[in-house]
Structure 1
Amino acid sequence: MVRKASMSPVGSDDAVLLVLGSLPGEASLAAQRYYAHPRNQFWRLLGDAIGEPLATLDYEERLARLAARRIALWDVVSEATRSGSLDGAIRGATANPLADYVETHGDLRAVAFNGQTAAKIGRRALIGSALTLIDLPSSSPAYTLSYAAKADRWSVLGPLAPSAKSGRMA
């Protein structure tokens, strides 16, 4: 198996909402872009939740929209051994320094975990945190919950993302 490393956080430097995945899949690592696999529903789910057409935009515009809405993306795993892209294949994971990130981002109010693996590792790293922690169904096509059911659960993120115009929480 190959040792794989996560990417740096992207989006807003003054984030109020941090969305954490587990470890980027093969397509994302190859492209060095979060959620690059065309079947991953992340951009559509997050876009629907915050009222932005993220899935229709190019990657750099997606990141600009996240920054405008004070949202950041990262992963809970810094590096791990994994064959393929499935979370179930992650072995020997080293966690990213999530507590340090929280400590240096004083405006942060909520952390959302994209999938069970992200939630399990992330919640352990943030024990005792005063932040709102939200477990979401995975945006991966391997997680077969219907899009409508996923979107319903992801909709809780909308009120947590400030309006791009006012800077106030929606």
Structure 2
Amino acid sequence: MKEERVVHPLAPIVDEECEILILGSLPSVKSREEHFYYANKQNRFWKVISAIYHEDLSTNKEKEEVLLKHHIALWDSIHSCIIKGSSDASIKDVIPNDIPQLINHTHIHTIICNGKTSEKYYKKYLEDKTHITPITLPSTSSANASYSLEKLIELYTNALKQA
């Protein structure tokens, strides 16, 4: 797989009532192809959200609705970068998303980073502009095998309750 510049293809899931922002790093190849967040069936993000809120999330519309119902926005730290496939380790030449602008039109007071890559770029480019210290949780990616689905559900539940 060769390196390529990828520009974030997805609009944030957000409305003015949102209080929590969950940030990934950049949509995977599968998510870019499917035009939706966490589209890779191996990623456990939607399983975690479904378990926390006891909602069946079969469609993308249902996924968006459950997030907004619970005042959760979803976006990514990176607007564009050079990357090989979906490899976070290969990311370079990052341009961040305009998180401060997004926050200005909401009630967001808590930012949760889904994984260390999201945290790295949020802290490097955005934290000093938003003045919100992120809560960093383990990535829901299947590549993060050191955390079981049950442990991810527990950690995300606790973070969302405290937010």
The aligned length equals 158
Q: Structure 1 residue 108: deviation in Å? A: 0.9
Deviations along 1:120-169, whole A, 9 cap, x unmatched? 111231227454521010010111122222222212244257xxxxxxxx
Partners of 1:123 and 1:14 in 2: CA distance? 24
Sequence identity, in percent? 25
SS of 1:127's partner is helix
Residue in 2 aligned with 1:108?
108
Is it true that 1:26 corresponds to 2:21 in the alignment? Answer: no
**Distance change (3 Å), C-alpha of 1:126 and 1:103:** farther
**Deviation digits for residues 74-104 of structure 1 (CA, Å, limit 9, x no counterpart):** 0000001111112111121111111222233
Residues of 2 paired with 1:154 and 1:43: CA distance? Answer: 12
Written as runs of structure 1 = structure 2, the 5 A alignment for 1:3-42 is 3-6=5-8, 7-42=10-45
Contact 2:16 2:105 in 1 (8 A): no
* Conserved 8 A contact 2:99-2:130: no
CA–CA separation in structure 1 for the residues paired with 2:39 and 2:80: 18
Q: Which residue of structure 2 lines up, in the alignment, with residue 63 of structure 1?
A: 64
Separation (CA, whole Å) in 1 of partners of 2:46 and 2:139: 12
Q: Does 1:87 align with 2:85?
A: no
Aligned counterpart, 2:134: 133
Give distance in 2, aligned partners of 1:58 and 1:151. Answer: 20
Q: CA deviation at 1:60?
A: 0.8
Query: 1-side partners of 2:151 and 2:68: how far apart?
Result: 27
Contact in 2 for aligned 1:20/1:75 (Cα 8 Å) = yes
- The residue identity in structure 1 corresponding to 2:92 is R
The equivalent residue for 2:158 is 156
Query: Is the contact made by 1:12 and 1:68 (CA closer than 8 Å) also made in structure 2?
Result: no
C-alpha RMSD of matched pairs (Å): 1.9
Q: Unaligned stretches of 5+ in structure 1? A: 162-170
Q: Which AA in structure 1 matches 2:6?
A: K
More divergent stretch after superposition (138-147 vs 31-40):
138-147
Instruction: Specify the SS of the correspondent of 2:102.
Output: helix
